[in-house]
Amino acid sequence: MEQGRWVEVADRVLVRRYAELDLSVGLVLGDGGCLIVDTRGDERQGAELAAQVRRITRDPWTVAITHSHFDHSFGTRAFLACPVWAHEGCRADLAENGERARREWVLHYRAEGRPDIAADIAGTGIVLPDHLVSDRADLTVGGRPVVLTHLGRGHSGNDLVVHVPDAGVVFAGDLVENGAPPAYEDAYPLEWPAAVAGLLDLAGTTVVPGHGDPVDRAFVAAQHAEIAAVARLCAEVAAGRLTPGEAVRRSPYPEETTRIALGRPAGRR
């Protein structure tokens, strides 16, 4: 899939890919309304996405945020005023930790020698979602059903899956990763397998990860097996039956990824 263009992965369901962080965002088109899935990482990036959506449709939009991490949620201001849906934990995390995350990513991009992105993040206003989901919300977007579901904690404490049942498409956020190992920095390793199992139970034939190209159910099933293996290793280390070094050797993922997972407090059960 080419970078910087829309690709229709199912009937009026589009994915747009970005080179920066290999991010994937979504657009669901209905009759008289549309849904934006994630808003990119700062106000400038969000404005670019909004402009690209307006090249396709002038219909009113609704925003759904898959989780609170900056690259998925900091571009939201460019879409206001509109309903902004997210898990209730997403709003709480942005309210409590959004400013800290902003400072950390400003420093990250400065250290990478990318002051332009650092400045954009520094100048971004963090928007708190105003339509909150605890377990499930059923929306109608331009006459099309869309289901927002929290399948449990996994990549974060507030992962939200966006299911478009009439198209067989599921936007998984970072519960699924294509092109790099899953990111465990804020994860719940022991719970993540159950969330992905729930994802597999949805009637979707195309799964859109938060990063990387869309995948099929076979890809998700294979990644579920890997995440479940990491969960077992975390449990064994926490119980003292395995050393971290042994776990690293047995892990399906690189050492750095595995050690981050092992370092999550008590597996975050």
Q: What pLDDT, in 10s, does the model give residues 143-190?
A: 999 999 999 999 999 999 999 999 999 999 999 999 999 999 999 999
The domain ranges of the chain are 6-268
Which pLDDT score is estimated for 206? 95
Please tell me the class of the 6-268 domain: alpha beta
pLDDT band per the 50, 70, 90 thresholds, residue 191: very high
Cα dihedral 175, 180, 181, 182 in deg (nearest 10) = -20
The mean pLDDT value for 122-132 works out to 95
The mean pLDDT value for 203-219 works out to 92
Distances (CA, A) of 82 to 64, 79, 142: 11, 7, 14
pLDDT, tens digit, 9 for 90 and up, residues 238-264: 999 999 999 999 999 999 999 999 999
Q: With 50 as the cut, is the pLDDT of residue 2 above it?
A: no
Q: Are 86 and 64 in contact (CB under 8 A)?
A: yes
Q: Are 45 and 80 in contact (CB under 8 A)?
A: no
pLDDT band per the 50, 70, 90 thresholds, residue 205: confident
CA gap 31, 84 in Å, rounded: 19
Q: With 60 as the cut, is the pLDDT of residue 266 above it?
A: no
Across all residues in the chain, what is the average pLDDT?
94
Which pLDDT score is estimated for 111? 96
Q: Which residue is listed with tokens 């050690």?
A: 259
Which pLDDT score is estimated for 3? 54
Distances (CA, A) of 233 to 185, 244, 255: 17, 9, 13
Query: Residue 131 corresponds to which amino acid?
Result: H
Interacting residues of 162 by C-beta distance below 8 A, sequence separation 6+: 26, 28, 35, 37, 64, 66, 146, 147, 148, 170, 171
Q: With 70 as the cut, is the pLDDT of residue 226 above it?
A: yes
Q: Which residue is listed with tokens 């579901």?
A: 149
The three-class DSSP label of residue 168 is: coil
Q: Are 208 and 9 in contact (CB under 8 A)?
A: yes
